[in-house]
Structures are given as C-alpha cells and as structure tokens.
Amino acid sequence: MSTDKRITLQQAAEIVKNGSSLTFSGFTIWRRPFAVIFELIRQQKRGLHLIEVNGGPQTEFLVGAGCVDIWESCWVGHELYGKYGANLSRRVGKKEILVEDYSHAEMLFRFTAAAQGAPYAVTQTSLGTDIHNPEYDMLGRAGKRDGKRIAKHKYMFAEDPFFGAGAQVLIPAAKVDVADAIEFAMLASGVAVGKAGTAVVTPEEMIEASITAHMAPAEAKIATPQRMADEIARWRAKGLKVGFTNGCFDILHRGHVAYLTQARAWCDRLIVGVNSDRSVRELKGEGRPVNDLESRAMVLAGLGSVDLVAPFDEDTPIALIETARPDVLIKGADYAESEVVGGDFVKSYGGEVRLAQIVDGYSTTAAIARMQEKA
C-alpha cells in the first residue's frame, strides 16, 4: 500500500482558492516556500488576503503580480538590505490594495491567539499609538469587517479585571482560512471510510474527491478530453481496468440501461462518449436529437454504471478513443467486430473489443415513432 503523501506544487497551489486568506512560514527571506509562491503567481490567483507576522520578498512578488487585495502585517523588509516594498507602496498609492497596520509584536500575539484557538489576544504594547486611530482602520472604513472572515473590530479596549492594571488592548486572532484544511480533511475521511481497515488516502484520491465535491454528483462525471485523460491516469495508477463505449443516447430507455450495465461489468471504470447535437443531426437527420447534449450527458451521468461522460463533436469517437486508450472497447451486438470504430487501434496495443447484447424492441427511433403515432 502506498504511503506517499506528497503532492505536486501545482496541486498544492490549487488548494488556495481566489479570495482565500493565507499566511506563510519563515522570516523575511528565510524558510519561505518560494516555489509555492511562484506557483500561485503562475496560476494567477486573485483577491488573496495575505496576513503575515512580517512581510518579505513573498509579499512583494504576490502584490506585484496582482494576487493580493488585502495585506495585514507590520512592515516589509530584509534584515540585510533594510526596508523595501516598492510593489506594495505603488499599489497602496494607486488604492489598488487595502493595508491594515499592526505592530510587529501584535502580529505575533495575533498568530499565537489563533494557534491557541482563542478569539483574541490581550496586550498593552500599542497603547497611545496611531494604530488605534479609527482613521487608520482601513478594513473598517472599506466596510470589510463582517465578523466572519474578518473581525468586527480592529481592536477593542478593556480594563484589567484581575489586577487592576488599567487599560488593555484586545486584538483579533489572525484567522487565516482553515476552510480548505477542514474541507480536505472531510473529503479524506469520506474516501478512507470506503476502504477496509486502516487506510492511507493518496493525493490522487484527494484530488478526485475534491473535483467531485465541488460539483453536483452527475455534473462531476461530465468531462472534457483533458480531464478524461487525467481521470484515466489516476484510475490506471490504481490498477483499474478502463472501458469505453459511445452513442447518441437521445432518449434513454431500458435497452440503454441494460447495455451500459453489461458494459460496466467488463471493466472497473466505464467512459461513455456521447455525440454532440451537430454530430447527432449528421447521423440521424433533421429533428434529432430530441434532447440536447447537456440533457443527454446529465441523464447518462446519473446512471450508476457510468463513471465518466465525454462529449465529442466529430462524426466518430476515434479521437476520444485514441486519447483514452481503453482496455476494453464496447459496442452493441448489432455491430460486427470489424465495424467498431477504433477496434483495430485498441487491439493494436493489446486491448479487447466486446459486443454487448441488445434488448429487442427498444430504440430511440422506435420510441419517437410510437410518440408520433399517438400524437
């Protein structure tokens, strides 16, 4: 059993969504995850809320690339080269970014409070400074303090109730988004409970679960050729047998359901290529399809026997078959094996072609004819 919990830089950066609040480990240039920072820039993340004990090169890179809308910290600099922050200063001057200023000590206290699970920290270090000037509550002035993702107040004052030491400053914990971590933990538990005994959840399984979780169950099965290829790569990494079939599936009927159930029995994962509306018209003539591509794909994806639906616009699915390289290619028994599109290609690398039985008396053409007779 694999115990490799590593993921690629691309996968790590994909966890950070547009609009996320985040922070980074390290100090100035030291122990900063620059590879991840550069990947966030490559993926063109936007609307980030960066909360830091102190800023450094990572701040300048992300701000300069237009990734950050809000920055909470105390200073940007380097212990060898002094203060710098040209990108931050430029964007502040243009009012393209909101900056919320705390003292260095307060930022440390804010993160300590968050690590302890406390809603706020208590300090006296900033008493009498302009940090408490309401004019400098930039998030408050911008109407961003919703009490959910951003604290209702930048600070509050309270009297020491224990030793009578006078005024104390209450500052909110630095709560960066943990929604991603919670979400992925829940996804991981969902994958793990489907396994026997104590199980490791692989990065590939996490990615697959994440994709599915963010879509409706049926919608999650409808894939572009690229996503189909990615899914197949993950399936093959688990040693799963991939099957492929195709058709118009215009009005889904009992015969289709039986056919797809039989096809799924010959593989571990079944991909169904479905003709586009234009492709159906070319094959079946004017007036077809009765149901548009989106409807047909969604109905197919709702079947338990179907693992992925891949629409195609060409007259034949050969391009999809060449991309998928299925272990088994399936068509109805109303075809001869020599007539199956892609059959020779699949057999050339050791795959097989199988013909599924057709339920007599059921077809879309016959169903349309019966409806027209009753009209």
CB contact burial 58-72 (16+ within 10 A = b; e otherwise): bbbbbbebbbbbbbb
Among 3-7, 61-65, 174-178, top mean pLDDT goes to 61-65
Mean pLDDT (the chain, rounded): 84
pLDDT at 216 over 60: no
Q: Verify that 106 and 221 share a domain, yes or no.
A: no
Residue 202 lies in a domain: no
Classify residue 160: in a domain, yes or no. Answer: yes
Residues 152 and 263 in one domain: no
Starting at the edge strand that comes first in sequence, how are the strands of the sheet with 167-172 ordered? 120-123, 167-172, 156-159
- The per-residue pLDDT for 182 is 38
Cα-flanking dihedrals φ and ψ of residue 21, to 5°?
A: -95, 140
End position of a domain, from candidates 137, 172, 207? 172
CB neighbourhood size of 354 (10 A): 17
In this structure, of 85-99, 150-164, 198-212, the range with the lowest mean pLDDT score is 198-212
Query: Is residue 1 assigned to a domain?
Result: no
Residue 324 placed within a domain: yes
Q: Which residue has the higher pLDDT, 209 or 33?
A: 33
- pLDDT band (50, 70, 90) for residue 47: very high
| Shared domain check, 140 and 248 | no
Together in a domain, 159 and 234: no
E strands along the chain, which residues? 21-22, 48-51, 68-73, 77-78, 82-83, 98-101, 120-123, 156-159, 167-172, 242-247, 269-275, 308-312, 328-332, 352-356
Whether the predicted pLDDT of 177 surpasses 90: no
Residues 160 and 223 in one domain: no
Asked if pLDDT for residue 58 goes beyond 80, the answer is yes
Cβ atoms within 10 Å of 162's Cβ, excluding its own: 5
Domain hosting residue 349, numbered range: 215-374
**Residues 162, 13 share a domain:** yes
Number of domains the chain is built from: 2
Q: Do residue 168 and residue 219 come from a single domain?
A: no
Bridge partners, 167 (sequence order): 159
Q: Which of 21-30, 101-110, 230-239 has the lowest mean pLDDT?
A: 21-30
CATH number of the CATH domain containing 165: 3.40.1080.10
Identify the pLDDT of residue 254.
Answer: 85
Let me know if residue 224 belongs to a domain. Answer: yes
Task: Name the percent of the chain lying above pLDDT 90.
Answer: 44
Task: Specify if 209 maps to a domain.
Answer: no
> Would you say residue 185 has pLDDT above 90?
no
pLDDT tens across 252-280, in order?
Answer: 888 899 999 999 999 999 999 999 999 99
Which phi and psi (to 5°) does residue 38 adopt?
-65, -35
Question: In the prediction, which pLDDT does 120 show?
Answer: 94
Which of 154, 172, 190 is where one domain is finished?
A: 172
Q: Are residues 125 and 227 in the same domain?
A: no
Which among 119, 149, 172 is the end of a domain? 172
- Confidence (pLDDT) at 13: 81
Is 18's pLDDT higher than 70? yes
Residue 291: CATH number of its domain: 3.40.50.620
134 and 227 co-located in one domain: no
Contacts with 234 (C-beta within 8 Å, 6 or more apart), sequence order: 204, 205, 207, 208
Predicted local confidence at residue 186, as pLDDT: 46
Would the pLDDT of 251 be above 90? no
Which stretch of 179-183, 194-198, 231-235, 267-271 has the lowest confidence by average pLDDT? 179-183
Asked if residue 199 is part of any domain, the answer here is no
Does 159 lie in the same domain as 34? yes
163 shares a domain with 24 = yes
Give the pLDDT confidence of 282-317 residue by residue, as tens digits. Answer: 988 888 888 899 889 989 998 989 999 999 999 999
User: Both 235 and 351 in a single domain?
Assistant: yes
Which is nearest to 66 in space by CA: 49, 52, 51, 47?
47
Write out pLDDT tens, residues 304-355: 899 999 999 999 999 999 999 999 999 998 889 999 999 999 999 999 999 9
d(CA 19, CA 22): 9
Reported confidence tier of residue 51, pLDDT bands at 50, 70, 90: very high
Domain-located, residue 205: no
Q: Is the pLDDT of residue 365 over 80?
A: no
What 8-state DSSP symbol labels residue 181?
A: H
Contact between 171 and 103 (Cβ < 8 Å) = no
What's the confidence (pLDDT) of residue 54? 86
